[in-house]
Amino acid sequence: MELLVFNPEHDYALADNQPQYVTLRSAAQFAYDCAPFMWYLTEDEAVVLDAYRPFGKEFQKNFDTMEVADQITKVTPWGWDTAVVYQLRRIGIPDTLLPTDAQLSKLRDIAHRKTAITAMEFLHDKHPHPERLPSPPSYLTELQQVEDFVKRIPDAIFKSPYSGNGRGHLYAHGICSPTLLRQCAGVLRRQGGLIAERMYAVVQDFAMEFRCHNGQVDFLGYSLFKTEHYGYGGNLLLPDDAILSTLSQYLNIQEILQTQNLVQDFLRQHIAPHYDGVAGVDMFVYQEDGAYKLHPFVEVNLRMTMGLAAHDIYKRHCHPEARGTFRIVRGDMKINGNVGMHGNVETQNFASLQQVETHHNHVETLRATSLQTEMQFRDGLWWSGTAVLNPVTPDTQYAVVVELGTTIMPGRA
């Protein structure tokens, strides 16, 4: 039996690097609400846990009573870190199913954003036309370096070595303000450095998804996503050839495929010898001097991502001709009417969620009419309609939603 663990604050647990990492309350709520959607990412018999609430004494008692730990043969968290390993040991998962301290230490090293600098240097060295590539970012360790960088590049972005979902990014916008310096000083004190680069006129975000295993790297596919306020805004559900077609509006397909091969080579040489698991490399198309260009390595995520989750769900559960979106709905939901989204992958028995009201400035209602359309099937696969992939109760604040039949395109909000 596989144990799936949803620990979406993995990047911050890496930064903290302590066994008893304490997550933000909102992140714990997100994990608690949305952990069940991970069932859609496996075809095996599985137990799904969220990493922040169920590990208390009462849960340990129930877990032991069910003798589940003895049945676990594989553990798959959202991402490996010291905190999740500590929690898994507490509930009786044997060390044979967990990474060693040395492996965790090495994973933390290569998950550092400095890896993007190494990757860009690698690509500059191997690319037949390095002049087409953006310059590698800089790594800063002193506050004076921040001021000097802004003098050279007024529109600059500074990234924490460990952060996720757009958080941990600081922006100069042409001026090195006291607030920016204070924030940068805090990151330097806590994490020892900052990754600095210029801002880009981003047109389209996307990612290439890979799996590292036994020193080898397999290409899994593409992820086309949207950012909102520098955070995750959702994925378009499309087959890989359709994503390539979308990107070909801006880039030559041969350039994309060439980049894919070079990135795969980098991962094989620098990541795969030390890591088994999925790896998502974020990229984007940007505009400069009237031309569209490719940033081939913004960062690498050595963990599961929402983009790869969307890719997997599309391949596993959606009809190949279906089109739609995958997104996270946020905000306090007041649910009226019949709420019963406890269907599983086998039955696909989803009830309609009606009269959804949201009280969060950045949240759209599930549909413009505030109504859900039950999922329709073709050849046993999702074809059109809406599916909420986690149970929804009056206390639910987050939902993972698949909507098929929509033509909304991701981009930059």
pLDDT in tens, 85-132: 999 998 889 999 999 999 999 999 999 999 999 999 999 999 999 999
pLDDT < 50 stretches in the chain: 55-60, 65, 332-372, 409-411, 413
Alpha carbon 221 to its chain's center = 15
Decide: 224 and 238 in contact? Cβ < 8 Å. Answer: yes
Under CATH, which architecture does the 202-307 domain have? 2-Layer Sandwich (3.30)
Residue 331 is predicted with a pLDDT of 62
Residue 288 pairs in a beta bridge with 291
pLDDT by residue (tens digit) across 239-290? 999 999 999 999 999 999 999 999 999 999 999 999 999 999 999 999 999 9
**Dist. CA 166–CA 168, nearest whole Å:** 6
**Dist. CA 47–CA 345, nearest whole Å:** 13
Q: Which H or E run contains 309?
A: helix 306-317
* Dihedral sign, Cα of residue 124, residue 125, residue 126, residue 130: positive
In one letter, which amino acid is 129? H
Q: Measuring CA to CA, how many Å separate 389 from each of 13, 59, 80, 282, 350? A: 25, 23, 23, 25, 9
The full DSSP string for 268-284 is HHHTTTT--EEEEEEEE
For the CA atoms of the chain, what is the radius of gyration?
Answer: 22
Residue 64 is predicted with a pLDDT of 53
CA dihedral 172, 190, 197, 173 (to 10 degrees): -10
Residue-range domain boundaries for the chain:
2-109, 138-198, 202-307, 318-404
Residue 230 is predicted with a pLDDT of 63
Sequence-separated (6 or more) residues with CB below 8 Å from residue 97:
72, 73, 74, 75
Decide: 40 and 389 in contact? Cβ < 8 Å. Answer: yes
Which two three-digit tokens encode residue 209? 């998804």
Residue 172 is predicted with a pLDDT of 96
Which two three-digit tokens encode residue 185? 């000083």
Decide: 19 and 86 in contact? Cβ < 8 Å. Answer: yes
Of 406, 404, 400, the closest CA to residue 40 belongs to 400
Give the end-to-end CA distance of the chain in Å, rounded to a whole number.
41
Decide: 159 and 168 in contact? Cβ < 8 Å. Answer: yes
pLDDT by residue (tens digit) across 310-332? 999 999 999 999 999 999 987 64
CA dihedral 310, 315, 318, 321 (to 10 degrees): 110
Where b means 16+ CB within 10 Å and e means fewer, 333-364 reads bebeeebebebeeeeeebbbbeebebeeeebe
Of 269, 248, 251, the closest CA to residue 123 belongs to 269
Residue 166 is predicted with a pLDDT of 62
Instruction: Say how many C-beta atoms besides its own lie within 10 A of residue 214's C-beta.
Output: 7
**Dist. CA 360–CA 34, nearest whole Å:** 18
**Dist. CA 123–CA 134, nearest whole Å:** 10
Decide: 194 and 184 in contact? Cβ < 8 Å. Answer: yes
Residue 48 pairs in a beta bridge with 4
Please tell me the class of the 138-198 domain: alpha beta
Residue 292 pairs in a beta bridge with 287
pTM of the model: 0.86
Which two three-digit tokens encode residue 240? 């890989």
Residue 55 is predicted with a pLDDT of 47
Residue 357 is predicted with a pLDDT of 28
- Do strands 156-159 and 169-171 pair parallel, antiparallel, or not at all (unpaired)? antiparallel
